[in-house]
Amino acid sequence: MPATPISFARGAPAPELIPVEELAECAHEVARRDGARVFAYGPGSGYAPLREWIADRHDVPVERVVLTVGGLQGFVFYAAEQLARRPGRVLVEAPSYDRPLKVLAREGVEIVALPMDDEGLDPDALATELRGRPDSASFLYTIPTFQNPSGRSLSAERRARLVEIVREHHLPVLEDDPYGLVRFEGAAPPSLLALEGGELVTYTSSFSKTVAPGVRTGYFVLPQSDAPGFEERAVSTYISPPFLPEAIVWEFIRRGRFEPNLERVQGELRARRDAMLHALEVHFGEHASWSTPEGGYFVWLDLAAADTSDLATRAEEAGVAFVPGAAFFPRSSGLGGSSARLAFSYETPARIVEGIELLASLR
Ligand SMILES: Cc1ncc(COP(=O)(O)O)c(C=O)c1O
């Protein structure tokens, strides 16, 4: 048993991936230089210099960029706005990020889980679902790059096909992309936002994986007509977001620290991903299959007939934690019982190897 529990459960960066000293200096600097703005109420859409930088990167007018208190807060706003405007079922990938599934279930929304494979969401399944029902769907929620929980990415061909389908059906899409920049190899495919032009596709990301989750700074690139409603929702929820962390992120970028830090994070995570894939090969071999992500935080493990809820309980007692696959499907689907999400973001390569070996011994 390891001296301290090994966590494959936490979709969080290891403490050593967070540039604490540099962020502390940035905090000091922005508080002194821009304190009057940072410590006051201000626009619900967030700290203007950071919004401008994001608008530039996505080549959109700044009015379309709204900062959020992390991507999940933004999801709550988006779902509320979109469901009010266009009530209906919400389409998701199967599996999908568990927290939005919980948010939607809590609101009593019908969730339709669409199949995916190693190339991501199956566009034909989307087209069939949309043609098969006369009532309109509210929106599609998708994580096309290094998906949480599967680590899979939607191929370039499928991205183009998906955009054709959503145009044909006039289906709004929320593209959630917190991991896209955390790429270890391969060329980045275009975002759905870039392919579609941003009339139907709303794009969201955050600085949780590229700077630090504790800054709680996410953002949305919205269709022009949706931005005022979104901002109004922010104002009537928290008046204005905390500007200090947004200004810290901006200062970090202004100093030229964003790219070098990202490269360091990519290198650290690549080593962890490699350690996990190698250990799976050695210790699970033919008894399981798993995804091979080119970036992000997660590997998706399929254990054929095994019950991963039971395995998770026994693993926790033995000192290894992971989230069983069923958490990432709508509850009523009954799917995911033999799968597991393994996060390689939190542990060192040596502890990852130790944890996988332990898991394999409990299988
Ligand atoms: C797909 C996805 N979206 C959104 C988030 C929320 O991140 P944050 O609220 O830290 O921006 C996460 C966090 O793990 C995630 O995996």
pLDDT tops 90 at residue 32: yes
Supply the angle between the helices 227-238 and 71-85 in degrees, to the nearest 10: 120
Q: Where are the alpha helices (DSSP H) in 39-122?
A: 48-58, 71-85, 98-106
pLDDT-derived band at 134, boundaries 50, 70, 90: confident
Indicate the burial class of 225 (C-beta count within 10 angstroms; 0-12, 13-18, 19 or more). exposed
Q: What is the pLDDT of residue 3?
A: 87
Does residue 165 sit in helix, strand or coil? helix
Instruction: Please say if the pLDDT value at position 341 is more than 90.
Output: yes
Which of 10, 54, 68, 72 for mutating ligand 1's site (highest number of atoms within 8 Å of CB)?
72
Distance in Å, CA 72 to ligand 1 centroid: 6
Determine how many CB atoms are found less than 10 A away from the CB of residue 190: 12
**CA 246 – ligand 1 centroid, Å:** 17
Asked if residue 221 has pLDDT above 90, the reply is yes
Q: What is the pTM (predicted TM-score) of this model?
A: 0.97
Q: What is the pLDDT of residue 332?
A: 83
Q: What are the φ/ψ torsions at residue 218 (nearest 5 degrees)?
A: -120, 175
CB 190 within 8 A of CB 157: no
Virtual CA dihedral for 311, 298, 68, 237, nearest 10 degrees? -10
The best mutation among 67, 148, 297 to test binding of ligand 1, ranked by most ligand atoms within 8 Å of the C-beta, falls on 148
Q: Is 138 helix (H, G, I), strand (E, B) or coil?
A: coil
Q: Which residues contact 36 (CB under 8 A, 6 or more apart)?
A: none
Mean pLDDT, all residues of the chain? 96
pLDDT per position as a tens digit, 190-208: 999 999 999 999 999 999 9
Q: State mean pLDDT over 255-265.
A: 98
Whether the pLDDT of residue 127 is over 90: the answer is yes
What does the DSSP 8-state code read for residue 267? H
Beta-bridged to residue 345, according to DSSP, are none
Measured CA to CA in angstroms, residue 340 lies from 88, 227, 237, 356 at distances of 30, 37, 35, 12
Tell me the pairing of strands 201-206 and 218-221.
Answer: antiparallel
Give me the amino acid identity at 213.
Answer: P
Q: Which residues line ligand 1 (CB under 6 A)?
A: 11, 70-72, 97, 143, 148, 176, 178, 206, 208, 213, 218
- pLDDT band at residue 157 using 50, 70 and 90 as cut-offs: very high
Tens of pLDDT along 50-108?
999 999 999 999 999 999 998 899 999 999 999 999 999 999 999 999 999 999 999 99
Helix (H) or strand (E) holding 164: helix 156-169
Give the number of the atom of ligand 1 that is nearest the alpha carbon of residue 207. 11
Looking at the predicted structure, is the pLDDT value of residue 209 above 90?
A: yes
What is the whole-number distance in angstroms between the Cα of residue 71 and the centre of ligand 1?
A: 5
pLDDT at 84: 94
For the cut 90, the answer to whether the pLDDT of residue 111 exceeds it is yes
Ligand 1 atom closest to 97 (CA): 1
Helix (H/G/I), strand (E/B), else coil: 120: strand
